[in-house]
A and B are shown apart, each in its own frame.
Chain A
């Protein structure tokens, strides 16, 4: 029960998201209700699982995925994962309630909730992954969905740019993370999270530790917007505010620090970890706070503040002490609560007053006292004012910063950086409240501000109360949960710590006082300057996003143009030549040690075989020679080669191939003949002038062709003269009857052993047929092919001269006898196709050959009586055949699942039918029937689509004739 709940928590948001996507476009309330119910269900399920993880245990659910690669769909929940899952789904629920009022009816609501839910599912996936590769997959999914969410208002260029930048940075980090995870898997020998967490010493002592660490940290830093990758976060503020509240406070950006905490027992504690993580964390903490002070956009201020607080968390994680980890986890929660509420409050201010520019906002308190109070309390939590949750974790942070962890200057600098960053946090928090709510109201707002509807303000109220309650009675509220989470993250019981508001007059408390006092003083001194600052002094010029733009420009525009200028061509022939030459070189490379012909010489050759191929080769060469001026001759010659190939299959023990090749040959020939009609006239008398250059080109192509052919011949001979090694063929021969229930091994391979491949193949076939159909729907013939062909003109002229003759009579007279035969043959062809299909499992035949044969039967009717005649009598509906065939094949495969077997497992037995006798009844036969139907549909659709053009020609000719 419990393990299934894990799957449910991750799967539910995705399923519900897809459901919202197919709702009617006006069902805004229903979409909101679905999203709310889903997040609530995830929250309740998570809450119900608490007893299973509270005593230090974990829940697992393993589904085998690709075991040979060590990749399982493993979900795992321990105390730490529980803590995060609860946070994600809890904030998710509040944000859904909030968005109900924020997202306007003009916006595509279904898309919003789909993306929102899918993002939440991916985020829960990261948190609950029990396999590192799976974690990376969910990680990338969050990057993609956050890209789509940030770019939700895609008509806004800033949103598009911000989304693209966020995706580029975080997805690049995701790739680095994947590489790092692969290294970890290589060291440990498993991607399983439990196994990895048990191998801390193994990993830290390995020579690959540093590369793995750096790669994983790149992933974490980019995701958590840590310096120097922080610049994407402020740019992502073009997102709708609910997205910012969810992604940029509680979830997406927390994924990075979550990962660092998750792998903390394995990766931390080394000097490399301490220096890299500590420096990055410290830089982000101080720099983020510094830059936040100068922002004029309310959300921009919050974004930089987020960078700063995540830097604080990173710094705590770098210390390598268990208490640091506890403080980091605590601060992740605290930051999520006060920052989510601030983002939502910012959204309310923006929504109700029409602007979020700090220079334009002021005196809002008298219009919205409740929102003002709530935002003030949340900002105080952000600043670390006592009796609020932010104070507690900041207190722990100060204590850890003062304590000595490693002998280096980073450790010495930590307490000063901590006080400095916290003081700046006080300054920007004060600025936020003071410039928005205090002072005189301006003459006019874009909109007359007022309090939001109750339910829009509710999430903010709830979170602010949480800040207060946790801040006042931490031990009674968050205490036990934090202990469970911290013990699970540590892997050992959590160290002793005290969650109290008052610890006496200690060094950390003194640091808090200094930070509060210093920050206030700083705001009093430079508050007015901050209101007018265009850009921050000192660091303002180092703009990460400018560097990013320059790099992207160089790669994606200049680089691409350079490559195109050097290597690019719009002509096909040079591309083909390059392709062939590269293929030849690639084939030569492994042969540098010599070709090594085998010793097997085979028996005496039958002279007939030699003569056969002498004809076959002559046909091929002649076809190559004639293809330019004598298209029909080339087609006939090509057919000759095809027939020789077909006979070769018969000769060399491949009856199935021969049958298929024969029918395909027929259909291909008909098809190309239908197409010949639309090509321009070309005759040898109109030879184009060919200069020396043209002759040289031909000589070069000829040489390439000869080399390619000689190479193919040499390689084939080298392979054929070697004694074959033991191959998987033995397996198929031995198991074909006992497990596949068929005597025709080739057919059993196709419909049973490799049925999945066949399913893919027929899908491709169906797609090609539909593409052909679609391409020809808007076909317009070239002007010189609109007229009737010359022969038809003569025939029609003859018919018109004679009053007794109908127009077109001569053409039907020519084909009178053949057409009778062809019509009579229809039934025979149908029987043949059925015969080929039914015997396929035990004797040469099968769905492919039968399908093409039946299609040939249809095409005979078109040839015999003309398109109009057939279409008025016979409704073939090829698209239905295609769809039906594909569904039949897929359902036959899926039926195996009902019996608890893997997809496409076949079942067979012999049934005794009266009169007919013993008949094999394999489920594979049904699959083959699906293949048959699809091949019939696809082939007929293509042939009809091309044949139909002759009618269209008449239509367009008629339009031309009309004045």
Chain B
């Protein structure tokens, strides 16, 4: 059975076949295993480092025979870690929800309605998608400064509340929803918003899942803009806080690694929750686009 499948996959002309059926798969699996080990080694090292004492950190390449919570104690004693985590969680979840809401609503409108200004809006949107966000840094900073919002959560939430990319993703996926389904809803007496809520959202749930993770990862890992607008320590998100710890923790690399490990966990958790939708949604935009 297995052999047959392999045969179907490898035509006569393949020189590898002459080496005998067992060698090539053996080789391929070996290469894959080696690569996987290389890819996972830094992460494994990170986990080990977070539980090694400063003396052991460079003494043992990977795990130390004396694991310790020293790094975590240092981290939590010296830094308001809970505050950083809460800031990161709040900003990232709020941004994700805002983007989800605005993107799905606008994507719905652009996919299923004809209205005044639709064409020019689409054109401007597509044009800005080609423009890298960095050109906006200086003028947006000036604007936020002018509004008196430097060093507030608003400075992060307002400019980040919409995602043009998200709208395009949602528009693509909502275009596939048959119009009959919406008309049936209307005949049943649904308002347009109820159609959005009870038909569109459930139907595009995979896209919602995929975009949730994309948006959350973007917000969680965001560094450049928060680095510019945040000044007070009690507003710092994890990337900003950790970057600021580098020099102060030059004798406590382990604590820094503990903080790094801590910062990776929420995204990993969300990924575990959403991986099916995410991997499908990630590529669907490209396949159709």
Q: Please say whether chains A and B are actual partners in one complex.
A: no
